[in-house]
Amino acid sequence: MQKKLALYLHFPFCTKKCNYCNFYSIPYDADLVHKYCSGLRQEIINFPYKNDYKVITIYLGGGSPSLIPFHELVSTINLIREKFYLDKEIEFTLEANPIHVSESKAENWRITGVNRISMGAQSFNDGELSKLGRLHSSTEIGIAANKIKEICCNNISLDLMYGIPGQTMKSWLNSLQKAIKLSPKHISSYCLKLEKETFLAENKAKYNFPDEELERKMYYKMISELQKKDYEQYEISNFGKKSYYSRHNTHIWEGGEYVGLGAAAHSFYKMQRIRNKSDIKSYLNKLKETNNGIDKKRKISTQEFMVDKIMLGLRLNKGISLPKFHAEFGIDLLDKFGEQINKFLKNNYLTIEDERLKFTSKALFISNSILSEFI
């Protein structure tokens, strides 16, 4: 029986790097894009376990995958269809920058089989967008969303960010309300983190950031506003209309196997954690030498996988099924991590409902500090 697999393709080219981004990305270059996409196709051909899996999701991330030329996109996706077994109900997501969305691109994405667009809105306040280094305006988000819905697909996810320099509760609520008005099927929202070697981190003294208490209030205000409009919170930072949760991310949060193709991509399959070469030049050179872009490969133990499943499973609002955990690992979770769990049960950060261990509402904003105690 074939196991389920999520397929991720990294496209690290951008028009301009955002002020908060620490992902690997470089300026768009047509010749290099062709060489890189050829490399992706080589990786697809040479993946050794294709017959062992059925691909349930394809996710094109970046960078800005909305910059991929149509002929490169079609060639790559057709090759995936030829070489892999694909689920009939496959979820096919493409990340899009609002400034790249046009009628012709939306049509091309539809032809290619894209049935879900994840669009980086981040804010509906032009001043906040400028501080983030985004190139689109708040108006262009709505224009892009409408084109996608009319031509490509109705399944749109919007990314929103809080904790932006100068952001107030009023401006955050305005962004939430404008996002909801566009009727996306899904909303992901993350607190801005100052990552090393980013513009905002290096210039943080020049900006006035919301304090942690305001960020906490923004987070819980978001939950409240989205619930009013029937968005179900199924993960700490993700909300979807019924039947529109991200299948790709949910598969990973549930401990499923995935393959990452491209420079700086990560994979997990056959109990191995795999990382590709982190820049395009070394990635392409490695492909020439070995027919894959792998930089490091590490076999993980059952113990490490068990901890990963706890860390990821608690991120989901449904939490971890205690009977299923016991069936998979032969371990009583409440015994194995009794000290940590009892501590958080007593202070009402964890709860057990219907034989599932899960976070309480008040734990969600500080979940990372709680999860760190299980490592």
Rg (CA), the chain: 21
Whether omega for the bond prior to residue 63 falls within 30 degrees of 0, making it cis, is yes
Going by C-alpha positions, the residue among 17, 53, 69 that lies closest to residue 198 is 17
pTM above 0.85, yes or no: yes
Domain boundaries, given as residue ranges, for the chain? 3-253, 320-374
SS3 state at 178: helix
* Alpha-carbon distance values, 55 to 3, 46, 49, 81, 339 (Å): 9, 16, 12, 10, 39
Exposed/middle/buried for 307, CB within 10 Å: 0-12, 13-18, 19+? middle
Q: Provide CB contacts within 8 A for 81, sequence distance 6+.
A: none
What is the homologous superfamily of the domain 3-253 according to CATH?
Answer: Aldolase class I (3.20.20.70)
Q: Find residue 156's DSSP bridge partners.
A: 117
Work out the angle at residue 267's Cα, subtended by the Cα atoms of residues 13 and 132, and round it to the nearest 5 degrees: 35
SS3 state at 259: strand
Local confidence pLDDT in tens for the 375 residues of the chain: 899 999 999 999 999 989 999 888 889 999 999 999 999 999 999 999 999 999 999 999 999 999 999 999 999 999 999 999 999 999 999 999 999 999 999 999 999 999 999 999 999 999 999 999 999 999 999 999 999 999 999 999 999 999 999 999 999 999 999 999 999 999 999 999 999 889 999 999 999 999 999 999 999 999 999 999 999 999 999 999 999 999 999 999 999 999 999 999 999 999 999 999 999 999 999 999 999 999 999 999 999 999 999 999 999 999 999 999 999 999 999 999 999 999 999 999 999 999 999 999 999 999 999 999 887
Q: Dihedral, CA atoms, 315, 363, 181, 154, nearest 10 degrees?
A: 10
Please give the pLDDT value at position 247: 98
SS3 state at 341: helix
Other beta carbons within 10 angstroms of residue 35's beta carbon come to 12
Under a CB-based contact definition with an 8 Å cutoff, are residues 333 and 320 in contact? yes
Query: If you search the block for the tokens 């950060």, which residue do you land on?
Result: 349
Pairing of strands 85-96, 116-122: parallel
